[in-house]
Amino acid sequence: QITLKESGPTLVKPTQTLTLTCAFSGFSLSTSGVNVGWIRQPPGKVLEWLALINWNDDKRYSPSLKNRLSITKDTSKNQVVLTMTNMDPADTAKYFCAHGWYFENWGQGTLVTVSS
């Protein structure tokens, strides 16, 4: 059974850096073909893909956010970490991690509020 769970701060201040962790089980990011991505959803709004990392450590970022994002993996810990710099109130959203190229499995999401 594949599970994913996001964790990190619920409140960050403008200009701070956000660090989110996706802890997963049921698969290995060292297995060929495996991907983990991050997606966010502002309250009442639509989904926005942020970043993706694969088993080969290839990384892809949203063109509009690539200067602020970094995605890394720790295969031994079964974790993927997303960092986003220079947070703004417009970044308030629920942040999800998901497994697979088609995002077959999702975490429950974690709500991050950006406010002073």
Partner 1 sequence: EIVLTQSPATLSLSPGERATLSCRASQGHSSYLAWYQQKPGQAPRLLIYDASNRATGIPARFSGSGSGTDFTLTISSLEPEDFAVYYCRQGLTFGGGTTVEIK
Residue closer to partner 1 by CB (options 39, 93) is 39
Q: Which of residues 21, 54, 60, 79 is near partner 1 by CB under 8 A?
A: 60
Tell me the site size for partner 1, rule CB under 8 A: 19
Give the Cα separation of 116 and 114 in Å (integer). Answer: 7
**Choice between 12 and 50, CB closer to partner 1:** 50
Q: Are 4 and 106 in contact (CB under 8 A)?
A: yes
| Largest Cα–Cα separation, the chain | 43
Structure token digits, residue 56 = 């080969």
Binding site for partner 1 (CB under 8 A): 37, 39, 46-49, 52, 60, 62-63, 96, 98, 102-104, 106-109
